Every structure is written in structure tokens, then in C-alpha cells.
Amino acid sequence: MRRAPHTDARLAALLLAGMMGIGALSSAAAAQCPSEGDCRKPHATPGCVMPDCCRLVCDANPLCCELAWDQACADAAIELCVGINCPAEGACDTTHATPGCSDYACCDLVTSIDGWCTYAAWDEICARLAERLCGVAPCAIDPGSATDEAEPCYERLNDGCAVGLASGRIAPGCGEAFKGRITTGGPRDTDWFALDAPARRRHRLVLEAGFPVELQYFRGGCEGPNDVKWLVAPGLCSGVVTLNFIADAGVSSLILGSGSLDRPMGNGLDCDEIDPDNPPGPDDPPPVQIFDVRWRARLDCLALGDLNGDGAVGPQDLAALLSAWGAVPPDWSADPFATDADLDGNGVVGAPDIAILLSDW
């Protein structure tokens, strides 16, 4: 099982550099970082291949970026650059036993999100993050005129079972748009939407977000019994995500967070508001905003038989139901974007479902 490192590598290096009295970036470092050569080994040319490590060392000893990267420079890199492994050997989209990968921009992005990829092996999760996020231009969300979730980013007010379902969920009306923010840090930030209803209901979620999205459908109350029926992670900046799904009768919630199918996102969405009860110290690092923290969501209420979500129940919905005839595949929950034709929720698409669809015609 993977464990999360407790310290950001680059932050630790910067703090160490500060304790050693290293000042502002020197002109020599700016000219020679990055350059050729292993930072942890001496070589005849100035500078080295790792930009972050190169700058740290040359700010401490400008000769390393003016004359040659000698043994003193290599020793300084070993001391200052603990946990800095970008770039490193190995393709970013494949696994390898060492930390870091060969493309600096991709390596820097992935290791900023997942510290494991900085300190340990570049495993399957690191490779999948690289495939999913590297090369995708960041996007910004315009929340527009929507109801604000009214949650400061340093508080956790809409986090469902973390604060209690009675008051810890957003209660959207049919077609009402909400806007808010998701930040990383502890405790984890999620926003819960209440879907409680006396009978099964179909919803259409229309979502935009500037960060990697994690969505879960949570059935039941906090005390149990409860379960997560599905989890889906739309791609970064994938535009407007539309999800047509059925919520079961009783207590249920839609949970919005940041992350992937592998794990929640632990870094990269820092709060940019000052918490008056816990203001930052003079030596605290600035907020890290790799992605836009904002989201905008609308939950529409549809007829149960509106399988294609076009606002009407007709021949296309009947055709979709007939094409799904029979037992619902056990792995359906892995693909909630698939049409949900099991209208009565008994695990089989059959005659009772046709009766429900026709009643909505």
C-alpha cells in the first residue's frame, strides 16, 4: 500500500537553503540552469540538468554556474536537493523503479500533486497521472450567476458526514446552479449535494471544474448502512460534464472532490484566503495553485424514463431501454455515464421498466 510523504521535497530544500543563508537567484544560476550533467556528480561544464537543484546550488555557490560543476557542487547538490528528481531517467507515462521521469514539465506537475512520485518509485499511479494531466492546458471556470456554496476555502461546512448530513450538505432545487471551490489540505475538502427523496428519481448533473474531478454517489446515512454506488473521474478541463443518473429512494448524496480513480488529490489546490483564526506565518510558503479551484454545477430533475436526458420520454428512450434488456452487468457501476435503463432498480431491465417508461411518455 502506498503511503503519502509528510513533506514536500522542494519546500524542504528551500527551507534548508534558507537556513544556509542562500539569497536571491543569481544571474549565473539564471543563465546556466538547467544545463547538461548530473547534479550529483562532478562534470566539466557549469550548471546541471535539474533546474530546481541547479538554482539552489548556484545560489549557494555561484562558481558552480560560472566555471564548472566540481566535487563541491556535487556535494552541495547531495545535501540541498534531497527529494528533487525532475527530470530523471524513465518515461513519464511508463512505470520504473526510480522517482521522477524524463520530461521536466510533466515530472514537475505530477510530483507537485503526488509526493510519492518524488521520493519513491514512479509507479502505476504516477504514470496514469502523467497520461491524464501532462500536456493538458489549465483552464479557468467562469462561475457566472449561480448560488454560492457560502463556504470559505479554509472551512469545511458542506462536507457531509464530516460535519453531519443535517446541515453539512448543499440542497439544490431542480435546475438551480451552484458554484464553489475545492481545495486540498487537511482535512480533505469535499462538497456534498443532498439527493434525499421518497422514491427513485433521475437527475442530470451539469458540471464544470478547473481541477481533476472525483465524483461519488453515496447511499445511506452517516451511521450506516451506507455504500458508494459509483465513482467517476472526468478528465481535466474536459469542458461541461453531463451525468445522467438515478438516485435511489431514501437518503443519498452526490459528493464532489478533487482526485482520480486511484486516490484523492492531496496537493495543488491551496486555499488563497486568510483564515483569521490561523493566519500564515512570515516564513510560510505562498499558496500553490496548479489548477483553478472553482466549480459550477447544476442538478436537473428528469422523468425516470428520460434515458437520454433530452427532456422528453419518447422512442429514443424506448430503443435505449430495449438495447439494455436483461440483467444489468455487475460492472455497470464502473461506468455511470452509461445509460441507466433499470428504472425500478431490481438489477434487471425488463417489462416493469417498460411500464415505467410508458407511464412517463
pLDDT tens profile 140-185: 888 888 999 999 999 999 999 999 998 999 999 999 999 999 998 7
Strand positions, DSSP E, the chain: 147-148, 177-181, 191-194, 201-209, 213-220, 226-232, 241-247, 252-258, 294-302, 326-327, 348-349
Q: Which residues of 316-351 are buried (b: 16+ CB within 10 A; e: fewer)?
A: ebbebbeebeeebeeebeeebeebbbbbeeeeebbe
pLDDT at 345: 86
Checking 44-49 for CB contacts under 8 A at 24+ apart, the result is 44/68, 44/69, 45/69, 48/73, 48/77, 49/87
* Cβ 339 vs Cβ 302: under 8 Å: no
Lowest-pLDDT range, 148-162, 216-230, 233-247, 282-296? 233-247
Give one DSSP letter per residue of 166-227, joined into a string: TTSSB-PPTT-EEEEE---SSSPP-EEEE--BSS-EEEEEEEEESS-EEEEEEEE-TTSSEE
- How many angstroms separate the CA atoms of 106 and 112, rounded? 10
pLDDT at 243: 87
Rounded alpha-carbon distances, angstroms, from residue 86 to 90, 134, 356: 11, 14, 57
Q: Which residues of 17-46 are buried (b: 16+ CB within 10 A; e: fewer)?
A: beeeebeeebebbeebbbbebebbebbeeb
Rounded alpha-carbon distances, angstroms, from residue 317 to 28, 266, 301, 341: 67, 41, 16, 9
- How many angstroms separate the CA atoms of 166 and 174, rounded? 20
Q: How confident is the model at residue 138 (pLDDT cuts 50, 70, 90)?
A: confident
Residue 160 DSSP class: G
- Helix and strand numbers, DSSP H then E, in the chain: 9, 11
pLDDT at 316: 94
Residue 15 has pLDDT above 50, yes or no: no
Q: Which residues of 93-112 are buried (b: 16+ CB within 10 A; e: fewer)?
A: beebeebbbebbebbbbbbb
| Triad 104, 106, 107: Cα angle to 5° | 60
Q: Spell out the residues 6+ positions from residue 124 whose beta carbon is closer than 8 angstroms to its own.
A: 95, 262
φ/ψ of residue 55, rounded to 5 = -65, -40
Lowest-pLDDT range, 9-18, 245-254, 278-287, 311-320? 9-18
**Domain map (residue ranges) of the chain:** 9-133, 147-274+282-302, 315-359
- The residue-averaged pLDDT of 235-247 equals 82
Q: What does the chain come to in residues?
A: 361
Owner of C-alpha cell 454517489: 217
Is 252 strand, coil or helix?
Answer: strand
- Average pLDDT along the chain: 87
pLDDT tens profile 18-74: 444 444 456 767 778 999 999 999 999 999 999 999 999 999 999 999 999 999 999
Lowest-pLDDT range, 74-78, 121-125, 324-328? 324-328
Lowest-pLDDT range, 17-21, 182-186, 341-345, 348-352? 17-21
* Cβ 80 vs Cβ 17: under 8 Å: yes
User: What CATH class is the domain 147-274+282-302?
Assistant: mainly beta
